[in-house]
Chains A and B, each alone.
Chain A
Amino acid sequence: MDKKTLDEIYGYLTGVFSDCDDFMQRRIKSQGTEVFICFFKGITQRDYISEKIIKPMLEDIKALHDFSGNFETILQSVTLKFPQDSEAICEALLRGEVLIVIEKVSENKMYTVLANAQFTVGRSITEPTSDVTVKGPKAGFIEDSETNMAILRKYIKNPGLKYKSINIGSETGTKITLAYIDGRADSKVLEDIKNRIENSSATTIVDSGNIEMLIDTRKYPIFPIMGSSEKVDKVASKLISGRVGILVDGSPFILTAPYVFAESLQSSEDYYRSPYYATFIRFLRFFALLAALYLPALLVTVITSHNELIPEKMYKTIEEMRADMPFSLFWEVIIVLMIFEMLREVGIRMPRSVGDAIGIVGSLILGDAAVQAGIASPVVIIAVAMSAVCAFIVPVYMYTTVLIRIFFLVLAYKLGFYGIILGSLALLFLLCKTESFGAPYMSPIAPFDKVGMQDFLLALPKKTLGRKEKL
């Protein structure tokens, strides 16, 4: 301990926490024994402090006079820790712990201890707003990581479930907890994630998204290499299948790694319903992803460069619709796409009630008005709306899809269908070369894994649940 007397600690702490109205302190002096107690209100349980810490000391004043370093004789607190230095004391106080310093003036001895009295400020466990399912558990994670750890422990009653905590962020001192099942999670992945977190020089960590960005060392992070979910059952099943979970204090989103492309097509609900229907839905998701990427580009290329690919009658109808349009098809699609992206952004940022109204105004009234005014043709509105809606079926790639869709659109406009094919090859190359903590991103397709393919587009719950996946 770098501070030798109670006055030194008192002076240091009152200096560090000067002008902090929520910093509470109390000094008690009795017959050569001096006690100093301090904590932060709001993040500590004041009843607990008075009942388990202050009251036992005051009730048995003799024990306090005879105190010789054994805190368990005078405190009723469950967890006690002995700080190594004054910095550790500051960190612990900010986490919601209580500092108790006892100085025997006559013996010139000082004893310090930290008692855990954390008070969790947070909401109760509710159904998550993302990853909504009709069937299956409704529990979602909350902002408090300790509650999240407890919920996970409730789902996985296995002594192999381990938690390792690290504090990072020089400004925020955020607690990051790695969750994994011993023997199932790859120790190399675990070590890799731990090293990346520890070696990061982040100052501010307020959400799991910060951690995701921080430990992603790729130069061009186009596709996410970590899963993110609010659903407890989803994260629990991922841990069972050998993933490492990252719990960030303050964020209800739990990160899982490694993450592969196949996971984006899966939903936890697939395992709670008929495997045939789940398989159908997975195929549907896959085609929706393709539609989200290619639909506007295909419309542009088919109408402008390869109109022999569609029935003549259809082509003529589309051309008639577009007869009085002031812009070329490419610019028309771009304008409608941009309007949609703006409306989507507004819908997300506005308060929910206003957002819904804007969604209706934007999608119905504005779309109809644009057609009536001759700014956009109905076929463009349909293609863009379909493509935009399809992107929501695979939420992981919601933002990536927007950029790739525009890239394909430009290729279709400049190079026609062959541009789209070459662009697709480039995209496939990027997907195949991506790795998520050593696991190939396109597994089980590339490299091909026959067993893994059974849970890619096909859903076979009995065989897949509980199996350690080969990545």
Chain B
Amino acid sequence: MFFLFATVLTASFLICAEFSAICFISSILLTVFYLYLFSLYFFCCQKTAVFVPLILVSLSMHITFFLIELHKSYIKDVNIWVLALFLVVVCGFMAYGTRSKTGVAAITYMASPVFIILSLLSAIAVLTGKLTLSPLFGENIYQYVFTVVSPPSTAIVLTYMHRCRFKKIFPAFVTSIAISICFFLFDAPFFKATTLNFIAPFIIASEMLLLKETILPSEESKNLKKISTK
């Protein structure tokens, strides 16, 4: 649970940290608010169909962000549409799962190795990077829309996959903020780009998973027990 929350939250925060300090901070505050809200929602109700439009918007924004980021940074001589297709295939593969493991189990299992890689990369970013002055405000309105849309979708996905109260995920929440700050304050472009592109698919896969579970719920999802409120 710790790794799942920490990894997906870091992915969400890092995307907003790419824009500006305002986007980063509002993303954190909004995520806390929505995590609390959805933990209450999933305590009394389990329907996710009502959130499908929001998740769809967030998913398309995350995919767009991923491709825009690639386009503006290192990409050369690579067909962006082939890359987009491969991204959707890999994320879909993770979200759908396999015969032996549903997407919920697969993404939960994958979270711990991804988190370990993430922590290593953040440590390298701190060691090799230099302090940077991040912009306070973003460049365009798209970034602010993103900051408002992304937190609720992240919160829905996480509270759906592991239904628990906010206080139980507090350590994971703090860890994800700490890792995001490492990348926000220290300028190590290569490792930052690697990290972002390594965990951005993770958040895309998580959103795809919720859409898939809404339409085609797995046995595991059907049998999900009510939240542990202790």
Contacts and interface: CB of A to CB of B under 8 A. Distances in A.
Interface string A421-439: 1111110110011110000
A414 to B, nearest CB: 7
A457 B86 CA distance: 32
A440 B109 CA distance: 9
Interface of B: 3, 70, 74-79, 82-83, 86-87, 90, 93-94, 97-101, 105-106, 109-114, 116, 190, 194, 197-198, 201-202
B76 A445 contact: no
B109 A418 contact: no
18 contacts: A305-B77, A411-B86, A414-B79, A415-B82, A415-B83, A416-B74, A416-B75, A416-B76, A416-B77, A416-B78, A419-B83, A425-B110, A425-B201, A426-B94, A432-B106, A446-B110, A446-B111, A448-B112
Given A425-B90, A429-B93, A305 B109 contact: no
A235 to B, nearest CB: 27
B39 to A, nearest CB: 23
A418 B78 contact: yes
A306 interface: yes
B3 A428 contact: no
A432 B75 CA distance: 29
Main secondary structure of the interface of B (DSSP, over half): helix
Contact of B70 (A418, A426, A433): A418
A421 B197 contact: yes
A445 B84 CA distance: 29
A417 interface: yes
A306 B112 contact: no
Contacts of A423: 90
B69 to A, nearest CB: 9
B75 A418 contact: yes
Interface in A293-325: 304-306, 308-309
Contacts of B100: 433-435
Given A422-B87, A422-B90, A305 B76 contact: yes
B15 to A, nearest CB: 16
A463 interface: no
Interface residues of A, number: 31
Given A421-B197, A445-B113, 5 more contacts: A415-B82, A418-B75, A428-B114, A432-B101, A433-B105
A426 B89 CA distance: 9
Q: Quick one: which of B74, B79, B101 has the most chain A CB within 10 A?
A: B74
- CB-based closest 5 A-B pairs: A432-B109, A448-B112, A446-B109, A433-B101, A305-B76
Contacts of A305: 74-78
Interface in A397-421: 411, 414-419, 421
Contact of A304 (B77, B93, B112, B113): B77
A278 interface: no
Nearest to B99: A219
A440 B105 CA distance: 11
Contacts of B99: 219
Contacts of A419: 78, 83, 86
A445 B78 CA distance: 34
A435 B106 CA distance: 12
B77 A425 contact: no
B78 A447 contact: no
Q: Give chain A's interface secondary structure class.
A: helix
A442 interface: yes
Contacts of A417: 74, 194, 197
Contact of A429 (B77, B78, B86, B110): B110
B100 to A, nearest CB: 6
A416 B79 CA distance: 10
A424 B113 CA distance: 12
Nearest to A304: B77
B63 to A, nearest CB: 13
A10 B77 CA distance: 80
B101 A308 contact: no
B106 A433 contact: yes
B70 A425 contact: no
A419 B111 CA distance: 20
A442 B113 contact: yes
Contact of B198 (A219, A415, A421): A421
Contacts of A421: 194, 197-198, 201
Contacts of A433: 97-98, 100-101, 105-106, 109
B186 to A, nearest CB: 18
A150 B78 CA distance: 60
A308 B98 CA distance: 39
Contact of A306 (B76, B93, B97): B76
Given A419-B83, A446-B113, A448-B3, A429 B106 contact: yes
A452 to B, nearest CB: 12
Contact of A432 (B74, B79, B110): B110
Contacts of A447: 109, 112
Contacts of B93: 426, 429
Contacts of B83: 415, 418-419, 422
> Most chain-B Cβ atoms within 10 A of its Cβ — which of A414, A422, A424?
A422
Nearest to A220: B98
Contacts of A429: 90, 93-94, 106, 110
Interface in A154-194: none
Residue with the greatest number of chain B CB neighbours at <10 A, chosen from A306, A419, A432: A432
